A and B are shown apart, each in its own frame.
Chain A
Amino acid sequence: RKEVEQDPGPFNVPEGATVAFNCTYSNSASQSFFWYRQDCRKEPKLLMSVYSSGNEDGRFTAQLNRASQYISLLIRDSKLSDSATYLCVPRSGGSYIPTFGRGTSLIVHP
């Protein structure tokens, strides 16, 4: 099983919609998680850090389900500018090496 698995999508939603996608991880020792956003051919940028059961930042909510080993990202009131690829990165241990999945592509249309 891959360390990180994400549905590549694309998720195609209209403006204003609520959309959610999951990231499953294989290492049960993962202690925290990062969601990065990557625009086409640009560098990934940190969107949100999740250190406990979840985190909320404006329209973005991350929820962690340790029992089922997945973390979800919920985006409310989608904007055209939310169109991007969203990358999930779990963290475990002090010498942790970040492992990226392929990401989930989101397209928000008018």
Chain B
Amino acid sequence: DADVTQTPRNRITKTGKRIMLECSQTKGHDRMYWYRQDPGLGLRLIYYSFDVKDINKGEISDGYSVSRQAQAKFSLSLESAIPNQTALYFCATSAGEGAYEQYFGPGTRLTVT
């Protein structure tokens, strides 16, 4: 089984709808991240969490919110989806101090029409 899983893998939704993307990990890592990737723009950080009680905004947090339900779970919500949120979304984890390599989920392809 994959260490970092994301659901759904693909989603098409309409403008104005609320949508939640979920991420789960079995690596036992404290740190979790949400990124979006658009063609030609690389990975941009939306939110990150260093432990269950820690939530931080990344460079493009507007229009998004997150919830860290447990060490293993980190969810990303789009409160009212808009077409320019169409992108590939990745969740990632890392262990933290002394081990900063990130491990990514397979991604969620989101289309907002």
Contact = CB atoms under 8 A, between A and B. Distances in A.
Answer whether A and B are interacting partners.
yes
Interface of A: 8, 32, 34, 36, 41-46, 49, 87, 89, 91, 94-103
Contacts, number: 51
B95 to A, nearest CB: 12
B101 A95 contact: no
Interface stretch (B43-51, B60-68, B70-78): B43-51
A43 B41 CA distance: 15
Contact of B101 (A41, A42, A46, A103): A46
A95 B107 CA distance: 25
Contacts of A94: 97
B88 A41 contact: yes
Contacts of B103: 46
A34 B101 contact: yes
15 contacts: A34-B101, A36-B102, A42-B107, A43-B90, A43-B104, A46-B101, A46-B102, A91-B100, A98-B92, A98-B100, A99-B45, A100-B35, A100-B42, A100-B44, A103-B42
Interface residues of B, number: 25
A98 B33 contact: yes
Nearest to B90: A43
A101 B33 contact: no
